[in-house]
Amino acid sequence: MTRMRLLTGTGIALLLIGGAMQAYHPKLESPPVTAEIQVPDEVKQILRQRCYSCHSNETKLPWYDNLAPAYWIVRSDVREGREHVNFSTIGAKPAAVQRGTLFESVNLIQLGSMPLPRYLAVHRDAGVTPDELVTLRHYLETPPVQPAAPAPAAAAETQFQHWIASNGTPIQVQPEWNGVPFLPEYKNWKPVSSTERWDNHTMRQIFGNDIALEAIADGKIDNWPDGTVFAKVAWLQQPDGKGGITTGAFQQVELMIKDSKKYASTEGWGWGRWRGDDLKPYGKDAAFQNECISCHEPVAHSDHVYTMPIGGAQ
């Protein structure tokens, strides 16, 4: 009898606590959708179904997520998720930024980091299916370069050897539209890292000047000293027809020049991109740099630099 009463007492206490928890139900705001991501319908559908609950202003929660304490966790995930990526507003950013975000998204899905694993543990069917992943990859992927016919392959090779050998550039290169100068000497700098992109089939090499290398050695990589310069060079990947891949046509070189006073209005960096064999400045006017800055914004905490030099991150 006493035990029974004790149990009922505990039950009532739990109910009361549960009720009190539901009473704390801070609001989850839903700001208007101002500029949805610009992608074909089949891509948007996947994002809507798998990602919009945390990465849009159109969050729809199932009833069980509306109960505390699940609600508190989901609400905080949604708020943080929107801060990182918001598919309801990203449409206002340049096309390259939307594409870059999607590229990063697909990489995170492939790694199993998105949707958040702790969310998938509770929402079993919320993950991206293999078919959906194929659709996303297919949208981003440009057709691969065909094994080169001998003539263009030889031309690419000559171009590459020329690039390796030339000290300074034989052609007159114009500064960027924002006035940032081209620095031919980047070819003599040390490589800091190299990356590939499966979507546009490019190989990229990042070079740093002496000041960059010194800063890496001194571990000053979250606020690069004035005078630091990075160069990023991209070549198309060129299958050699025997299963190997070499550098194909030269695509572009990009520079980031640190000068916290001169370039104060563009996050302390001068941005430049020169394309093609004749190194033509990119864009139509100085506004091109907004594209650079908004895509480098996610790494604002490391002074807008993506590259984590090997051994320099401690």
Determine if 54 is a binding residue for ligand HEC (CB under 6 A).
Answer: yes
Closest CA to 42 of 143, 144, 141, 138: 138
- Could you say whether residue 233 binds ligand HEC (CB under 6 A)? no
Q: Does 309 bind ligand HEC (CB under 6 A)?
A: no
What is the residue whose two structure tokens read 């550098």? Answer: 247
CA 311 to CA 217: how far, in whole Å? 9
Separation in Å, CA 192 to CA 57, 229, 247, 311: 39, 12, 18, 11
Secondary structure (3-state) at 16: helix
Q: What are φ and ψ of residue 269, in 5° steps?
A: -120, 145
Does residue 203 interact with ligand HEC by CB under 6 A?
A: no
Q: Is residue 93 near ligand HEC by the rule CB under 6 A?
A: no
**Of 201, 307, 309, 312, which lies in the binding site for ligand HEC, with binding defined by CB under 6 A?**
307
Side-chain half-sphere exposure of 252, counting CA atoms within 13 A: 11
Given candidates 139, 160, 177, 306, which one binds ligand HEC under the rule CB under 6 A? 306
Q: Which residues are registered as beta bridge partners of 253? A: 233, 274
> Within positions 124 to 183, which residues make up the interface with ligand HEC, using CB under 6 A?
128
Q: Which two tokens stand for residue 209?
A: 């000047």
- Neighbouring-strand partners of residue 250: 235
Per CB under 6 A, 291 contacts ligand HEC: yes
Is position 81 an interface residue for ligand HEC (rule: CB under 6 A)? yes
Q: How far is the CB of 306 from ligand HEC (least distance, A)?
A: 3
Query: Could you tell me which residues are beta bridge partners of residue 246?
Result: 238
- Judged by CB under 6 A, does residue 258 bind ligand HEC? no
CB of 241 to ligand HEC, least distance (A): 26
Residue 292 binding ligand HEC, by CB under 6 A? yes
Residues in touch with ligand HEC (CB under 6 A): 50-51, 53-55, 77, 80-81, 84-85, 96-97, 100-101, 104-105, 108-109, 114-116, 119, 128, 195, 204, 206, 230-232, 254-256, 271-273, 282, 288, 291-292, 295-296, 298, 305-307
